Amino acid sequence: MEHKLEDIIAIFNQCFEDEYNTRLVKGGEEPIYLPANDDVPYNAIYFARGFYSSALHEIAHWLVAGKERRKLEDFGYWYEPDGRSEERQRDFEKVEVKPQALEWILATAAGFRYFASADNLNGNPGDTQPFKQAVYEQVKTYVEKGLPKRAEILRKALVAFYGTEDEIDLAKFDIARI
């Protein structure tokens, strides 16, 4: 199955551009979320380097962000660049659990391979297994309690576009493969 950037952009924009004034946009080297301003009249999710996986990841952050956070650049999150210490890496992972769980669910809906991202290639990520386990546990919670409204809208749109199974089957989420 081919995953084209134009497709994920169109799917996202069809789902959310009108109601949320938000567009998914192919960006440059680094991803960023910018709320509407005097220069750009819409909220923009810029994903990095033209990667489908980056688009899914940045979308997941938008899906987790509440109404007030969506008014802030990069949702008001701190970001320490690549090269974090092991302690700072644990802090980073705490805020990544929900977005990466949603990313995994969306990737599965799109028939796309998900990889957990420590996003610390030049630092010491340490043992990433607890992080992967936390992401898996969050997926289980979403399966049991349901997805947030916007996440479910997008998941259903991905399922319809890619012709994948509409049910979120926990058996398809193998922690050993991420």
The pLDDT of residue 117 is: 82
Q: For residues 35 and 88, give the distance between their C-alpha atoms in angstroms, rounded to a whole number.
A: 27
The domain segmentation of the chain, as residue ranges, is 3-74, 84-170
pTM of the model: 0.92
The pLDDT of residue 81 is: 65
Q: Note the pLDDT tens digit of each residue in 13-44.
A: 999 999 999 999 999 888 999 999 999 999 99
CB-CB contact of 33 with 71 (8 Å): no
Q: How far is CA 166 from CA 2, 12, 172, 177, in A?
A: 19, 18, 12, 21
The pLDDT of residue 123 is: 55
The pLDDT of residue 101 is: 97
Residue among 100, 111, 110, 106 at smallest CA distance from 136: 100
Q: Note the pLDDT tens digit of each residue in 48-104.
A: 988 999 999 999 999 999 999 999 999 998 766 667 777 777 778 888 999 999 999
Res. 126 pLDDT band, cuts 50 70 90: low
